[in-house]
């Protein structure tokens, strides 16, 4: 499970209008998926149709459920996402939760969910911020080095990053020298410089996502207007 429902489980959202799944795209799994969709009385919304080819190529396939217990629920499935590991790796590091009724929920790990949220959509960037803040609140008083590195690597506000850099200077320096140079400004307490760098970072991710989806959108247009 990924998307909004996964964010609900991680404490960063109160509700989601649809359910998103990352799936393994192979023939046996597609057969199981089709069986579940038939049980939900789910029909494809627009294009593309459900096929291994489209899933493996990176398209999302969208469904609307008609079963009385899930009426009008939208279900989206994907097998590939920009910048996100392949399914075998995602499954290996997934988060497993159990509901009060014994139901097992398999979620993208928090780092993978955050990576999947780095899109061109306006609604996804505030969600990344809330995911980090919710995780920090849940670990208050007992953060591990791994938690600290995640927060420093993915935090989306200058105030939080400056606070984290003061609390975890060794981790901040290591990340500043590698994947997140803006942490140098956070270590210096330069809020304006951090905010500016965060904006640059976000714009680069949005541009990369638009470039990734451009050929896929062209394919969808050809399917709609053959």
pLDDT digits (tens, 9 = 90+) for 31-73: 999 999 999 999 999 899 999 999 999 999 999 999 999 999 9
What is the Cα Rg of the chain in Å?
19
Is the Cα dihedral 32, 38, 42, 46 positive or negative?
A: positive
Q: Is 80 exceeded by the pLDDT of residue 226?
A: no
User: Domain end: 92, 116, 140, which one?
Assistant: 116
Sequence-ordered list of residues with C-beta below 8 angstroms from that of 124, at least 6 positions apart, any chain:
117, 118
Residue 146 is assigned to a structural domain of this protein: yes
Q: Would you state the pLDDT for residue 27? A: 95
Half-sphere exposure of 200 (CA within 13 A, CB side): 9
pLDDT of residue 15: 78
What is the domain count for the chain?
A: 2
Q: Are residues 108 and 178 in the same domain?
A: no
Which pTM value belongs to this model?
A: 0.94
Q: Are 137 and 110 in contact (CB under 8 A)?
A: no
Is residue 208 domain-resident? yes
Each residue of 164-196: pLDDT tens digit?
999 999 999 999 999 999 999 999 999 999 999
* Residue 103 burial by Cβ neighbours in a 10 Å radius (0-12, 13-18, 19+): exposed
pLDDT value at 13 more than 90: no
pLDDT of 118-148, one tens digit each?
A: 999 999 999 999 999 999 999 877 889 999 9
Question: Looking at the domain assignment, is residue 36 inside a domain?
Answer: yes
In a domain, 79, yes or no: yes
């Amino acid at each position: 499970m990924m998307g909004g429902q996964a964010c609900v489980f991680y404490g960063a959202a109160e509700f989601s209008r649809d359910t998103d799944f990352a799936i393994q795209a192979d023939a046996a799994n597609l057969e199981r998926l089709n069986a579940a969709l038939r049980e939900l009385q789910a029909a494809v919304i627009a294009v593309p149709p459900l096929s291994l080819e489209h899933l493996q190529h990176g398209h999302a396939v969208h469904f609307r459920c008609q079963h009385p217990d899930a009426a009008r629920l939208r279900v989206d499935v994907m097998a590939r996402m920009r910048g996100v590991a392949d399914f075998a790796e995602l499954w290996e590091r997934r988060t497993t939760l159990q509901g009060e009724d014994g139901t097992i929920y398999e979620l993208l790990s928090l780092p993978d969910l955050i990576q999947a949220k780095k899109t061109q959509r306006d609604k996804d960037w505030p969600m990344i911020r809330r995911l980090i803040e919710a995780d920090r609140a849940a670990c208050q008083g007992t953060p591990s080095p791994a938690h600290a590195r995640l927060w420093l690597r993915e935090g989306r506000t200058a105030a939080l990053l400056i606070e984290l850099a003061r609390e975890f200077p060794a981790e901040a320096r290591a990340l500043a020298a590698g994947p997140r140079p803006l942490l140098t400004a956070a270590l210096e307490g330069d809020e304006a410089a951090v905010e500016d760098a965060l904006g640059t970072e976000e714009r680069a991710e949005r541009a990369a996502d638009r470039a990734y989806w451009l050929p896929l959108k062209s394919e969808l247009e050809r399917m709609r207007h053959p």
